[in-house]
Amino acid sequence: MKKRLTAVLLSAAMAVSAAAPAFAADDAVEKLLPSVKARAGISDEYTDFSSNYREFDGYTQYYFDWSDDEDRSVSVSYNSYDVITSYSRYDGKDSYNGEVTLPKISLGEAKAAAQAFVDKLNPDKKGEFVVGDSDGGGALNYDYRFDVERIINGVPVYGDMGNVRVSREDGSVSDMHINYTPAEFADISNKISADAAKKAYAEKLGMELVYKSYSDKDKIVMFPAYVVKTPDKYIDALTGEVFEIPEIDKYGVTNDAAAPMAESQAASGGSADKGLSRVEEAELDKIAGLISKADIEARIRSNETLAIPEGIGLQTISLQRDYYDKDSYTYSLTFSGENAGAGVSADAKTGEITDFWRYDRSDDSETELGEEERRAAEDKVFEALAGSVKSEYKYIEDGVNAGTYTRIVNGVKVPGDTISISVDNGGRLTYYGRRYSKAEFPSVSGAMSADEAAAKMLDAAGYDVKYLTYNTENGYASQPVYMVNDYSPMVNPFTGELVNYRNEPYENETTELVYGDIDGHYAADKIKALADYGIGFAGGEFKPNEKITQKDFLYLLSKTFGSYTEYADNDGIYSEAARRGILEIGERADDTPLTRGTAAVMMIRMMGAEKYAQLEGIYTTPFDDVTENIGYIAILYGMNVIKGDGNGHFNPENNMTRAEAACMIHSYLTR
């Protein structure tokens, strides 16, 4: 059976049912409600109150709601372990006003307010739920948001985390949510060392070399990478042995016999209209050489392995060209009848089956296959349908992916290329899915060993102790284990670097922006203020006196106006610039120094004010050297976003420095 690990996120599991019963006015509620109100700061001004609860396994989760006629409300969740797990307050108005400005409450003040509130809600847990750092980016136009982590004995509790939201205007808290697992936590004073844990990891868990892939425009790019071999197993922090969550917390997962086939990403083929271009004629020539619709239907109906139920008719048929391989075509057919149905995809050149599903409601077989019989039935399907790619796939007995054959290239697994098979209790095929990437596979000659990769990964990603919580027959339990800090680390097998999904070097850096080259600079305070809100550059240096390039100015603007995603390459920056209308066609110049005049134009465009800046005959500026883009510069001057040099000049043709760019953005945010 296929198995999966389920994290213990208690508050999510205890979501209230819409049909939960209302409270009775019993002694228990009368005793706990005053404490909840005091801790959450609930006044008696609200005119309506409701409550409900859910009980199971000796555990009770309570839900309280207060509201009034002015659309103000407060909701609180509280459990029988005396922990408030959520708080949500609405004052009848939206805190988002669409304006991008620096908050009235500083980042440090907001974090302190968040921690004080979390401690007030659960005073007996003070010091246990810790508010983390934030780059403050969201607070430029909305609220601060901080992550919360539960710490026991100086060790994080995996899964027991949450978040808290703080107003940028007055520092009040509007939302707080945390997960809480009622488990006992073992003493870890005698835990094994990190070095011993790393050695045990390499020997008992380790990494494996596989081929990963990503889409690059119209092709699939494959690259070799080391990945975690056993993501659901850990090293016991007390013994150094392998720890796996007990079987009670694992659930069987089987393929859905009636799962729909994956749709091709391709566009449909062309028509046979006359008066065609050469490209259209070439496409139709390729289609003309394919298996006919009648022939493909006949082949499918006569295929004994598919066993299309008799009496069901052809409902749809379509032909698609592969998005990546322009010479590859696929037929997709669906069949439907009163009690049965099926769907098939087949290669339009060879007739090989790539996808299949079938259901038959009239089948009332009570036969039940044993594990060996099921495996034999799956192997029979594989032999019958795998066709030309059969030699590239292998069934790997790992106890995880039942009925799945994995492609092997250069002796290395391709996890994304699989053949999945499901059969019913009579051994009849109910699902078949073949994934086969037509791509170049780089050589893995010279790749480092799995042990070397594991050592480099653990050093780069971090390997620390966490409490892993899980279900048992007697409630919740925890186990201190060493865990990789990165959720899905990948290692370049030749350089040992951590890489992202595009095989680019990845560094697990803090989001905090700190610079060692701005002390004493005239713009230092403004650069630091922007850094608090994630506006700036990573790497420890701001380089204030260097000329700013077009792409770097665009990056600062994107961070200022609402994009908090780090881009994998410059194309991401320019895609956003095009979407926002900051650059027009032909204006891209990545590493070209930016002039002050062009920076003004880009700022106005980012603000969405270009149509006003282009109005003629209504603007004047105090600068005698501004003869172009007068409206752009006049608007920014009137907003106190830009200034001259004190001699009546704006110097629009001068290159802008990084410090000047920071001052310009800071002036906009504090206008």
- 313 & 221 share domain: no
Per-residue pLDDT, averaged over 617-628, amounts to: 92
Of the pLDDT bands very low, low, confident and very high (cuts 50, 70, 90), residue 513 is confident
Q: Which of 414, 434, 454 is the endpoint of a domain?
A: 434
The listed range with the strongest mean pLDDT (22-26, 140-144, 408-412, 576-580) is: 408-412
| Angle formed by the axes of helices 550-560 and 596-607, nearest 10° | 30
- 130 & 208 share domain: no
DSSP, res 340: E
- 412 & 293 share domain: yes
Residue 507's pLDDT is what?
Answer: 55
Q: Look at 49 and 665; give whichever has higher pLDDT.
A: 665
- 457 & 541 share domain: no
Q: What is the percent of the chain with per-residue pLDDT over 70, rounded to a whole number?
A: 85
Per-residue pLDDT, averaged over 120-124, amounts to: 95
How far, in Å, CA of 39 to CA of 86, rounded? 12
- 529 & 652 share domain: yes
Q: Which of these ranges, 10-19, 199-208, 210-219, 470-479, has the smallest mean pLDDT?
A: 10-19
| Angle formed by the axes of helices 194-204 and 450-461, nearest 10° | 140
The structure tokens listed for 415 are 């996890």
Q: What is the percent of the chain with per-residue pLDDT over 90, rounded to a whole number?
A: 57
| Other Cβ atoms closer than 10 A to 612 | 14
DSSP, res 295: H
The structure tokens listed for 514 are 């700190």
The listed range with the strongest mean pLDDT (10-19, 50-59, 611-620) is: 611-620
pLDDT at residue 595 greater than cutoff 50: yes
Is residue 413 in a domain?
Answer: yes
The structure tokens listed for 571 are 């194309």
Per the CB < 8 A criterion, the answer to whether 630 and 621 are in contact is yes
Q: Which of 135, 154, 178 is the endpoint of a domain?
A: 178
Of the pLDDT bands very low, low, confident and very high (cuts 50, 70, 90), residue 139 is confident
Per the CB < 8 A criterion, the answer to whether 332 and 315 are in contact is no
Q: Look at 566 and 433; give whichever has higher pLDDT.
A: 433
162 beta partners: 148, 178
Amino acid 491 reads V
- 580 & 637 share domain: yes
Per the CB < 8 A criterion, the answer to whether 496 and 534 are in contact is no
Per the CB < 8 A criterion, the answer to whether 620 and 634 are in contact is yes
DSSP string over 611-640: HHHT--SS---S-TT--SSHHHHHHHHHTT
Q: Which of these ranges, 274-278, 294-298, 349-353, 372-376, has the smallest mean pLDDT?
A: 274-278
Q: Which of 178, 213, 237 is the endpoint of a domain?
A: 178
Is residue 146 in a domain?
Answer: yes
Residue 129 class from Cβ within 10 Å (0-12 exposed, 13-18 middle, 19+ buried)?
A: buried
Per the CB < 8 A criterion, the answer to whether 207 and 453 are in contact is yes
Closest CA to 7 of 251, 252, 184: 251
Residue 84's pLDDT is what?
Answer: 95
DSSP string over 194-209: HHHHHHHHHHHT-EEE
3-state class (DSSP) for residue 211 = strand
Per the CB < 8 A criterion, the answer to whether 581 and 610 are in contact is yes
State the sign of the Cα–Cα–Cα–Cα dihedral 577, 580, 581, 582: negative
Residue 9's pLDDT is what?
Answer: 34
How far, in Å, CA of 198 to CA of 345, rounded? 46
Of the pLDDT bands very low, low, confident and very high (cuts 50, 70, 90), residue 145 is very high
Residue range 456-481, pLDDT digits in tens: 999 998 999 999 999 888 888 999 99
- 206 & 296 share domain: no
Biggest CA pair distance of the chain: 94
- 449 & 427 share domain: no
Is residue 97 in a domain?
Answer: yes
Residue 27's pLDDT is what?
Answer: 55
Closest CA to 437 of 212, 188, 140, 177: 212
Q: Which of these ranges, 165-169, 281-285, 596-600, has the smallest mean pLDDT?
A: 281-285
Is residue 184 in a domain?
Answer: no
Is residue 133 in a domain?
Answer: yes
Q: What secondary structure, in 3-state letters, does 363-411 show?
A: CCCCCCCCHHHHHHHHHHHHHHHCHHHHHHEEECCCCCCCCEEEEEECC
The structure tokens listed for 228 are 């975690």
Per-residue pLDDT, averaged over 418-427, amounts to: 91
Q: Look at 18 and 57; give whichever has higher pLDDT.
A: 57
Closest CA to 485 of 460, 513, 455: 460
Q: Which of these ranges, 394-398, 541-545, 615-619, has the smallest mean pLDDT?
A: 394-398
Closest CA to 393 of 378, 374, 371, 373: 378
Q: What is the CATH number of the domain that holds 352?
A: 3.10.450.40
How far, in Å, CA of 222 to CA of 212, rounded? 6
Per the CB < 8 A criterion, the answer to whether 331 and 291 are in contact is yes
659: left (phi over 0), alpha (psi -120 to 50) or beta: alpha
Number of structural domains in the chain: 4
The distance of Cα 76 from the centroid of its chain, to the nearest Å, equals 28
Q: Look at 285 and 288; give whichever has higher pLDDT.
A: 288
Q: What is the pTM of this model?
A: 0.75
- 317 & 415 share domain: yes
The residue segments making up the domain with residue 590 are 524-669
Per the CB < 8 A criterion, the answer to whether 475 and 164 are in contact is no
Per the CB < 8 A criterion, the answer to whether 600 and 633 are in contact is yes
| Angle formed by the axes of helices 550-560 and 658-669, nearest 10° | 20
Which residue's structure tokens are 């800046």?
613
- 123 & 247 share domain: no
- 111 & 206 share domain: no
- 285 & 321 share domain: yes
Residue 251's pLDDT is what?
Answer: 37
Residue 563's pLDDT is what?
Answer: 56
Is residue 534 in a domain?
Answer: yes
Residue range 539-555, pLDDT digits in tens: 899 999 999 999 999 99
Is residue 264 in a domain?
Answer: no
Is residue 165 in a domain?
Answer: yes
How far, in Å, CA of 113 to CA of 103, rounded? 14
Residue 157's pLDDT is what?
Answer: 96
DSSP, res 21: P
Residue 16's pLDDT is what?
Answer: 33
User: Phi first, then psi: what are they for 190, rounded to 5°?
Assistant: -105, 25
